[in-house]
Amino acid sequence: MTSTNLLNLAKIGQLDPIPLSMALVKRMLMTARQRLRDAELTQNSDETRFDCAYTAIRALADIGLHLQGFRTSTSKPGHHQTVIQSLAHTLDVDAATVRVLDGLRKQRNLADYDGELVTTAALHECLEQGKILLGRVENTLRQRVDWESSGA
Partner 1 sequence: MKATFKSASELLFPLQYRGKALALLLLQPQRRLHVREIARLTGTVAGTMNKELDRLQRAGLLEKHRVGNQLQYCANQQHPVYPELSALLRKTIGLTDVLTLALMPVAERITVAFVFGSIARASDTATSDVDVIIIGRVEFGEAINLLYDAQTDLQREINPKVFSPEEWTASLVAQSSFVQDVLLKPKLFLIGAQCDLDQLAELGQDRPA
List residues near partner 1 by CB under 8 A: 96-97, 99-100, 102-104, 106-107, 110, 115-117, 119-122, 124-125, 129
Instruction: Report which DSSP code applies to 75.
Output: T
| Identity of the residue, 12 or 121, whose beta carbon is nearer to partner 1 in the bound complex | 121
| Identity of the residue, 19 or 115, whose beta carbon is nearer to partner 1 in the bound complex | 115
Quote the least distance from Cβ 74 to partner 1, whole Å: 23
Query: Distance between the two ends of the chain, CA-based, in angstroms?
Result: 24
Quote the least distance from Cβ 97 to partner 1, whole Å: 8
Residues 6+ apart with CB under 8 A from 95: 88
CB 137 within 8 A of CB 29: yes
**Residue 20 neighbours by CB distance under 10 Å:** 12
Coil/strand/helix, residue 13: coil
Amino acid identity at 41: L
**Pairwise CA distance, residues 126 & 20, whole Å:** 28
Quote the least distance from Cβ 37 to partner 1, whole Å: 21
Quote the least distance from Cβ 115 to partner 1, whole Å: 7
| Identity of the residue, 29 or 57, whose beta carbon is nearer to partner 1 in the bound complex | 57
| Identity of the residue, 66 or 80, whose beta carbon is nearer to partner 1 in the bound complex | 80
| Identity of the residue, 69 or 103, whose beta carbon is nearer to partner 1 in the bound complex | 103
Quote the least distance from Cβ 127 to partner 1, whole Å: 11
Longest Cα–Cα distance of the chain, Å, equals 46
